[in-house]
Amino acid sequence: MRTSSLVVMVLASACALSGHAETYKEKSQRLTASPKELTIHVVDEDGKPLAGARGDSISFNPKNGRHGGDDWVADPNGRLICKDLPYFFTTDMRVSLSNSDAAAGWKSYDVTVTQQDFLHFEEPKLTLKVTLPYVRKPIPLKAKSGGFSHRRVNGLKDTEPADPRLPDLAITEVGYDAELLEPMPPHGQGKRMDFTIRVTSVFRGFKDAWTERSAVVDVNRGLDTMDEGKVRYGDWTHSVTYRFPNKGDGIILSAQFWPYCKLTVPHKAPEEGYVEELTLKEVKDYHSNRANLSNYRDKIKNNGLFLRVRTQLDKDGNVVSAHFAKIVSPRGAGNGFMFFYNPTPNDRNLEYDFKTNLRWQELNPLSKEPPLWDDTYRLHSN
């Protein structure tokens, strides 16, 4: 349970109340003392309401430190309506399939929304729409958490210099071998370049005099260099560009993305629509807005990408053979991501079986699957 900083996380903008502009404190007190109502519209992947979907909520009362919660069932329109008494806030809600579907043997990738991501009560009523994807056909995939694990900025106490191959405040381009899940040399052990990842970071300045002064103070105290201060306090535009040199290969931004469950993108990669180059941007502000379901795709870390690689075309340009992969939950511009690759040609299924990992088996041929305590290739998303 996460209960810290919930109740005072409200908009600071003023509104009219009793003839005067409502202050931040007054709005916080009004919101806290009001009964709350959380409505979640639950739909399947086709947008059809899921009647009977179950919700399990946890609530918190910051006034006395008490916890509560209840179970909720969606009505015929797929609506879960969770009501809290005054001074209580729903802090966590888990949504799962209906009792009838569970009894029939179906499984789902349960939805989890919390105060840390999407449960931001700015008024007593909050409405969200979520997709509850069902488990269909999980299969073994090559999978690995990847990224550029190099320090890009020097600290005053660092004994080794920052990696010159990945200088901060500059452009970085790295090739990637999709089958081996490895960057190309000198960054990794890749052998065949399927695509490149180009990262560009542009420093836009400090948001205000306070953030700039904070950077200068840290430098004067010997805690940071000015480059580190820019990274820590400054405003940035990061962009990442994916390029595919092989004809027929390409990438596509998933039309659907579900950041609140383990299956973050649909089960299958699209058959068509791939482009040779795609750029995503992340505007990073020191005073950043909280994520919500209306803006969560604005951040690089909240996007899912499908890839088609090693494509073979006939004389008319039709796809004869190809491999499909996906990148999910990139953490910043190239700083980390989860990569999944289907080694079977022409199989667009990318629903990862968490119990079996082909990449782990390559490195451990005498074992059937990773032991429970080995999380090297056990990924938290799918």
Report, as an integer, the average pLDDT of 87-108: 95
Query: How do residues 51-71 score in pLDDT, each as one tens digit?
Result: 999 999 999 998 888 999 899
pLDDT given at position 187: 76
In this prediction the pTM is 0.82
Contacts of 272 (CB under 8 A, 6+ apart): none
The mean-pLDDT minimum among 26-30, 163-167, 376-380 falls in 163-167
pLDDT given at position 186: 77
pLDDT given at position 296: 76
Q: In the 3-class helix/strand/coil scheme, how is the chain assigned residue by residue?
A: CCCCCCCCCCCCCCCEECCEECCHHHHHHHHHHCCEEEEEEEECCCCCECCCCEEEEEEEECCCCEEEEEEEECCCCCEEEEEECCCCEEEEEEEECCHHHHHCCCCECCEEEECCCCCCCCCCEEEEEEECCECCCCEEEEEEEECCCCCCCCCCCCCCCCCCCCCCCCEEEEEEECCCCEECCCCCCCCCCCEEEEEEEEEEECCCHHHHHHHHHHHHCCCCCHHHHHHHHCEEEEEEEEECCCCCCEEEECCCCCCCCCCCCCCECCCCCCECEEEEEEEECCCCCCCCCCCHHHCHHHCEEEEEEEEEECCCCCEEEEEEEEEECCCCCCCCEEEEECCCCCCCECCEEEEEEHHHHHHCCCCCCCCCCCCCCCCCCC
pLDDT given at position 147: 63
**Residue 144 or residue 12, greater confidence:** 144
Give the C-alpha separation, 311 to 191, whole Å: 17
Is residue 340 scored above 90 in pLDDT?
A: yes
pLDDT given at position 201: 76
CATH class of 16-131: mainly beta
Is residue 295 scored above 80 in pLDDT?
A: no
Per-residue tokens: 104: 């029939």
pLDDT given at position 203: 81
Give the C-alpha separation, 298 to 268, whole Å: 23
Report, as an integer, the average pLDDT of 136-150: 79
Query: How do residues 104-117 score in pLDDT, each as one tens digit?
Result: 999 999 999 998 88
Is residue 166 scored above 80 in pLDDT?
A: no
- Residue tagged 């009793």 (tokens): 18
Q: Could you tell me the residue ranges of all domains in the chain? A: 16-131, 139-363
Percent over 70 (pLDDT), the chain = 80
pLDDT given at position 89: 92
Query: How do residues 228-253 score in pLDDT, each as one tens digit?
Result: 788 788 887 778 889 999 999 999 99
